[in-house]
Amino acid sequence: MTDLRELYQEIILDHGRHPRNFHALEHPTHLAKGYNPLCGDRVTVYLALDGDRIVDVSFDGRGCAISTAAASLMTEVLKGKTVAEARALFARFRAEVTGGETVELPEALSEDAERLEPLTGVKAFPVRVKCATLPWHAFEAALKGGLEGDTVKTE
């Protein structure tokens, strides 16, 4: 039996119950929705970019503890990052949870990568990996689509 505590670590439960940056942005420059048809969960990710820098990021919607915590932690680490840094963090995170090839990160981002570490417990629960990556895919779609970002689906 894989230990549930690996998945539902204290920090995940905390962010699941009390998500940070859980509101719509008043003046987003980018936004996109993520949808998981399997469970009907929805998340909207809002970004405010100034040039290349993410000055603000938030989300709303409804989801399980994993997707809520993933979105909450994501908004925390993305605030203040450049788009390139944010994409590097996503690449690293995705590799970690899907068991892909490790993505090297510049030293400056290692602390952020560590903050996302508690979510990597989903690796042992393959059916839940999509819950953790959904907000990140919505973030990616927002970057690409501006205010008209495509809705991303998990399947």
Partner 1 sequence: MIDVRAVRREFPIFVNNPNLVFLDSGASAQKPRAVIDGIAEFYRSDYANVHRGVYQLSARSTDRFEEARATVRAFLNAADEREIVFVRGATEAINLVAQSWGGAVLQAGDEVVISDLEHHSNLVPWQIACQRAGARLLVAPTDATGEFDLGAFEALLSPRTRMVAVTHVSNVTGTVLPVENIARLAHRRGAMVLVDGCQAIPRMPVDVQAIGCDFYAFSGHKAYGPSGVGILYGRYDALAAMPPWQTGGGMITSVAYAGTEFQEPPHRFEAGTPDIAGAVGLKLALDFIEGFGREAIREHEAALTDYGVDVLSRIPDLNLVGGGQRRLSILSFNIDGVHPHDVGTVLDQHEVAVRVGHHCAQPLMDKLGISGTVRASLGIYNDKADIDRLAKAIEACREMFLR
Footprint of partner 1 on this chain (CB under 8 A)?
A: 1-2, 4, 7-8, 13, 16-17, 38-41, 62-66, 125, 127-128, 131
Of 89 and 122, nearer to partner 1 (C-beta) is 122
Closest distance of CB 143 from partner 1, Å: 26
Of 63 and 149, nearer to partner 1 (C-beta) is 63
Closest distance of CB 51 from partner 1, Å: 37
Instruction: Report the C-alpha gap between 13 and 26 in whole angstroms.
Output: 28
Contacts of 62 (CB under 8 A, 6+ apart): 41, 42
Of 41 and 140, nearer to partner 1 (C-beta) is 41
What number of helices (H) and strands (E) belong to the chain? 6, 4
Closest distance of CB 64 from partner 1, Å: 4
Closest distance of CB 3 from partner 1, Å: 8
Listed residue (84, 152, 119, 126) closest to 6, CA to CA:
119
C-beta of residue 15 within 8 angstroms of C-beta of residue 68: yes
Of 7 and 89, nearer to partner 1 (C-beta) is 7
Instruction: Report the C-alpha gap between 46 and 20 in whole angstroms.
Output: 13
